[in-house]
Amino acid sequence: MRTPIVAGNWKMHKTIAEARELVNAMKNDLAQLAATGKVEIVLCPPFVSIPQVAELVKGMPIKVGAQNMHWEAKGAFTGEVSPTMLNEICDYVIIGHSERRQYFAETDESVNQKVKAALAHHLKPIVCVGENLTQNEAGQTQVVVSAQVHAAFKNISRDDARGIVVAYEPIWAIGTGKAASGAGANSVIGLTIRGALAEMYDEGTAQTIRVQYGGSANAKNVAEFFAQPDIDGALVGGASLVAADFITICKTAVK
Ligand code: 13P
């Protein structure tokens, strides 16, 4: 049985003061939900707010994640944040988000390097994959997503792979209000993503790894995703910035 994981990716939103306000507005409800053991809940604020958010949820069953990191432990990499800096206060790190691939030149190779570095520093990676609109319309979803999974998991052992979370985020659904259908996302996750993992490892491993859906997931539509057999929670952008909505999403995951 895979425990669903709901993560809020705040992207570049909320000042430190606003982050404090948002976390205070939802932490008690989220902690109660997470305490059931039926959902894992992760908050991924911008780097500057991570220490504050970690402090606010200290002692609660709520996890904290970063939205990116460098693969080196330290060094002359101006503006970057390393896994050793994050693992003091984070449990998770999002890697290879499509916005990083699109605007910050992240490649399948850098994603793989980062996944390995995260694992080496005891951070759990949430690896994002997904096709863009042109690829989707050209019927290339399977080829594109499968290649991204193969690249992200390259040279990663079966044991390590089991601890990685994959987020299927079709780019055309991110921030557009046009979510995928539950059945459509389930089919890409079940056939393509688990299919690629089964090719690389084995069927048992493919069935163990948790795969979330992301892309315009909200309080109204998440039930459709959570009802799908191959979808294990959601990576939520916009709706994770509204306390009531994020609480509802986590509540829906527990039902
Ligand atoms: P939205 O939920 O705002 O579409 O963002 C999805 C996403 O990119 C989460 O990582």
C-alpha of 8 from chain center: 8
Strands (E) located in 1-135:
5-9, 40-44, 63-66, 92-95, 124-129
CA atoms of 180 and 91, how far apart (whole Å): 28
Which pLDDT score, from 0 to 100, does residue 86 have?
Answer: 98
Backbone dihedral angles phi then psi of residue 211, each to the nearest 5 degrees: -130, 120
pLDDT-derived band at 176, boundaries 50, 70, 90: very high
Query: 3-state SS of 114-175?
Result: HHHHHHHCCCEEEEEECCCHHHHHCCCHHHHHHHHHHHHCCCCCHHHHCCCEEEECCHHHCC
Is 122 catalytic? The answer is no
Q: What is the 8-class DSSP label of residue 79?
A: T
5, 9, 94, 241: residue to mutate for ligand 1 pocket, most atoms within 8 A of CB: 9
Q: How far is the CA of 200 from the centre of ligand 1 (A)?
A: 28
Which amino acids bring their CB within 6 angstroms of ligand 1?
9, 97, 169, 174-175, 214-217, 235-239
Q: How far is the CA of 75 from the centre of ligand 1 (A)?
A: 31
Q: How far is the CA of 146 from the centre of ligand 1 (A)?
A: 21
5, 10, 11: residue to mutate for ligand 1 pocket, most atoms within 8 A of CB: 11
Domain boundaries defined on the chain: 5-254
Token pair 């490649």 is found at 107
pLDDT in tens, 195-235: 999 999 999 999 999 999 999 999 999 999 999 999 999 99
The answer to whether 164 and 118 have CB atoms below 8 angstroms apart is: no
Whether residue 1 is predicted with pLDDT greater than 90 in this model: the reply is no
C-alpha of 188 from chain center: 16
Q: How far is the CA of 76 from the centre of ligand 1 (A)?
A: 31
Which pLDDT score, from 0 to 100, does residue 106 have?
Answer: 97
Which pLDDT score, from 0 to 100, does residue 73 have?
Answer: 98
Query: Residue 204 corresponds to which tokens in the numbers above?
Result: 């048992």
The answer to whether 249 and 39 have CB atoms below 8 angstroms apart is: no
Is 121 catalytic? The answer is no
pLDDT in tens, 183-193: 999 999 999 99
Please give the mean pLDDT across all residues of the chain: 98
CA atoms of 123 and 247, how far apart (whole Å): 25
CA atoms of 255 and 251, how far apart (whole Å): 7
Domain spanning 5-254: CATH superfamily: Aldolase class I (3.20.20.70)
Whether residue 11 is predicted with pLDDT greater than 90 in this model: the reply is yes
Query: What percent of the chain stands above pLDDT 90?
Result: 99
pLDDT in tens, 114-170: 999 999 999 999 999 999 999 999 999 999 999 999 999 999 999 999 999 999 999
CA atoms of 217 and 180, how far apart (whole Å): 9
Which pLDDT score, from 0 to 100, does residue 123 have?
Answer: 98
Atom of ligand 1 nearest to the CA of 98: 8
